[in-house]
Structure 1
């Protein structure tokens, strides 16, 4: 076979690999990019949700460990309810330009390692959003081809046309779940606009805290009465109650806060060693204040967090015997809620414990441990941390309506509920 044909085949094959590697999810593709945050501009703990046709804005920030600045660009990709790229053209869901520049940056000051901090507020005069739905924010260099993408982030644009009622009852339909699982009782009130084929065109997804591995999708109504949709499944819509999140506070490296055993500082930076974690599955439920798995990036009061915040390698240890045919992962906003290689713990047979480490910026962090059996994609919190109905969890409910012309999924309902505030006895 001629050499140029072999080269062409390899190029085509590698191009396919690259195109498949960029997914519509929260992901970082450049090892120099750290601490990507996308949230409502009002508060970094608020999710990236904006209301269509309002002045709502999102704040994007990230650090780049590169030695020189880059002209990062961004664009938005509309997705369906299952995060597949929509068939819409960008001119159908964006106004203004289809791409924008990220020009707000600053160099770090006295930080090891050094980095460059970038900020962006959008929608803005350059890029505006016309349609509701799921979106992927794609940040890239030069052009938006997959090989130039440095990271992606999910966001939601909602037109609130559906009223959502949701509660968590004390007694679930399946009594085996009593005092353990959290059942979501769900009812939607829809306007006349959505009376046509509601069982086919309305989809509901429910997410627990920030997790994507255990999201419930494609939920359909079990009964329809006028403008009311009920979701009464035989066993209910059920999530593991789990347990309160573990946490550690490293907003300052000048002292060791609770759960931090030691802080090591040298010319290479910081190393934060946490106290070994113990399994809680067989222990009674204990109320521990948390932020439901989120992270708060914040340094000392005398520091500007964006450019003076330091990084540290944080060492995690879990005292637990080896679990065969399964892996244990650290999970939370500290690792973008991903069950990936960086978050997978390693079993140390000499110490009879699991170990792991993550590179994190100064702040306050929540996390938990999940067990993922071989061949599975959903983490099980109950094995390490137990299962309690009393646990404080946030739930996010998304209601989608399949529009026919043009064909796309509108996000017509969004509701956040809390298992403390919305429970019924």
Structure 2
């Protein structure tokens, strides 16, 4: 069936029909801890990978039958519509092969298998084009289990970032603005206002990224972006965090532990912070790191715990809902995955999420009845907040068939200026 879908998509490509913007598919309950790893980082974070660099997609399957999984990789444009490239143009080798590297858990109450897909490998020997990609994981019944976006860049331009307080006086206490200078160097960028596209990402969260910002003006080889409002983000607040590296005792952010069928970690009761003064509290900007005490290999020896989240907050009105999210669940907003329920007897919003031992950042957010996200309603927005910003630069030359990712820049608001 997968092959049939593949050939059908190829046929559409050759006939020149377009594709709608694609969204990631989040996994079912029995798949956990989806993590991209590269040579430069072992944290779970947004995968932005240099062209030619090897990377791993790892995940755990919380069953005992060692199921088979297969993968496909597709190339996409800047706006996450399917590109006009066929597989042989961006891939050396083939995909649609079984993931063969996996290990069973050891000394854990929660039985699981840890799967590790490395790219390149013997079948998929390399990805040859920069740009946006989606990797899709299918089960042995050829059903899509989950998909994840990743980006591959080839550094052809210089990208400089400067983080400022908002230039709009109305939001000077609650927003941060990103100034960008793109230096094209020896690369000739034709008609950059139409051919160059930028993506600005705060704390590795594609959900809140700013897109379609054009350069205001050019000076020689430099494209300048110094907008008042267009490149401004709500500053939010530092992420909350907890650590479960020791399942036998309470750790950072954990009030107490209980062993039932598996370990249960009860976090301290949280509360709103929008009305409190800003307090600097170092975090890892929404990411997570798998870690466990007294283990040689955390991939298979770290256990799973049911983490109990709770926040004291009045019941939301007008169809609003509350979620807990971070990179650990791909900033998802899904009922049954990370939506909190209100307990009228205690006046708390609560959720239980099964997570592997580690250090986690998380945040409570609110979504209204129309699906609009408000990250600051619970946490507040403070200009002093330390946030990570990434800028990706895409380019499609006149007559080209796909969007190249030609530049990547990164900065932190710890040195924010007026």
Q: Which residue of 1 aligns with 2:31?
A: 33
Is the CA contact 1:26–1:336 (under 8 Å) kept in the aligned structure 2? no
Q: Which residue of 2 aligns with 1:139?
A: 137
Q: Which residue of 1 aligns with 2:10?
A: none
Q: Over the residues paired in the alignment, what is the CA RMSD in angstroms?
A: 2.0
Is the CA contact 2:156–2:187 (under 8 Å) kept in the aligned structure 1? no
Describe how 1:360-375 pairs up with structure 2 within 5 A. 360-375=355-370
Q: Which residue of 1 aligns with 2:103?
A: 106
Distance in 2 between residues matched to 1:194 and 1:419, nearest whole Å? 31
Offset at residue 141 of structure 1 (A): 3.2
Distance in 2 between residues matched to 1:230 and 1:74, nearest whole Å? 40
Is the CA contact 2:190–2:398 (under 8 Å) kept in the aligned structure 1? no
State yes or no: 1:309 paired with 2:306.
Answer: no
Q: Which residue of 2 aligns with 1:49?
A: 48
Offset at residue 305 of structure 1 (A): 1.4
Name which of 290, 307, 319 aligns with 2:312.
319
Name which of 274, 277, 280 aligns with 2:270.
277
Deviation track 1:309-347 (CA, whole Å, cap 9, x = no partner) reads 111111111111122121111010121111111111111
Distance change >3 Å, CA 205–CA 99, structure 1 → 2: same
Distance in 1 between residues matched to 2:185 and 2:369, nearest whole Å? 45
Name which of 54, 63, 66 aligns with 1:69.
66
Q: Which residue of 1 aligns with 2:193?
A: 199
Distance in 2 between residues matched to 1:108 and 1:98, nearest whole Å? 27
Is the CA contact 1:163–1:189 (under 8 Å) kept in the aligned structure 2? yes
Offset at residue 222 of structure 1 (A): 1.6
| Secondary structure of residue in 2 paired with 1:213 | strand
Distance in 1 between residues matched to 2:259 and 2:148, nearest whole Å? 33
| Secondary structure of residue in 2 paired with 1:354 | strand
Is the CA contact 2:157–2:187 (under 8 Å) kept in the aligned structure 1? no
Offset at residue 47 of structure 1 (A): 4.1
Q: Which residue of 2 aligns with 1:84?
A: 81
Q: Which residue of 2 aligns with 1:179?
A: 173
Unaligned runs of 5+ in 1: 1-21
Deviation track 1:11-31 (CA, whole Å, cap 9, x = no partner) reads xxxxxxxxxxx9844433443
Describe how 1:16-415 pairs up with structure 2 within 5 A. 24-45=22-43, 47-52=46-51, 54=52, 56-127=53-124, 128-142=126-140, 148-170=143-165, 172-191=166-185, 193-266=187-260, 268-325=261-318, 326-341=320-335, 342-377=337-372, 379-415=373-409
Distance in 2 between residues matched to 1:416 and 1:39, nearest whole Å? 18
Q: Under a length normalisation based on structure 1, what TM-score does the superposition of the two structures give? A: 0.88
Distance in 2 between residues matched to 1:367 and 1:336, nearest whole Å? 11
Distance in 1 between residues matched to 2:118 and 2:399, nearest whole Å? 31
Offset at residue 192 of structure 1 (A): 5.6
Is the CA contact 2:46–2:205 (under 8 Å) kept in the aligned structure 1? no
Distance change >3 Å, CA 193–CA 302, structure 1 → 2: closer
| Secondary structure of residue in 2 paired with 1:27 | coil
Distance in 1 between residues matched to 2:89 and 2:399, nearest whole Å? 11
Distance in 2 between residues matched to 1:87 and 1:163, nearest whole Å? 27
Distance in 2 between residues matched to 1:28 and 1:384, nearest whole Å? 25
Is the CA contact 2:21–2:79 (under 8 Å) kept in the aligned structure 1? no
Distance change >3 Å, CA 252–CA 25, structure 1 → 2: farther
| Secondary structure of residue in 1 paired with 2:88 | helix
Is the CA contact 1:29–1:149 (under 8 Å) kept in the aligned structure 2? no
Distance in 2 between residues matched to 1:23 and 1:335, nearest whole Å? 21
Distance in 2 between residues matched to 1:199 and 1:43, nearest whole Å? 34
| Secondary structure of residue in 1 paired with 2:283 | coil
Offset at residue 57 of structure 1 (A): 1.3
| Secondary structure of residue in 2 paired with 1:420 | helix
Distance change >3 Å, CA 68–CA 363, structure 1 → 2: same
| Secondary structure of residue in 1 paired with 2:277 | coil
Distance change >3 Å, CA 249–CA 201, structure 1 → 2: same
Distance in 1 between residues matched to 2:40 and 2:208, nearest whole Å? 28
| Secondary structure of residue in 1 paired with 2:207 | coil
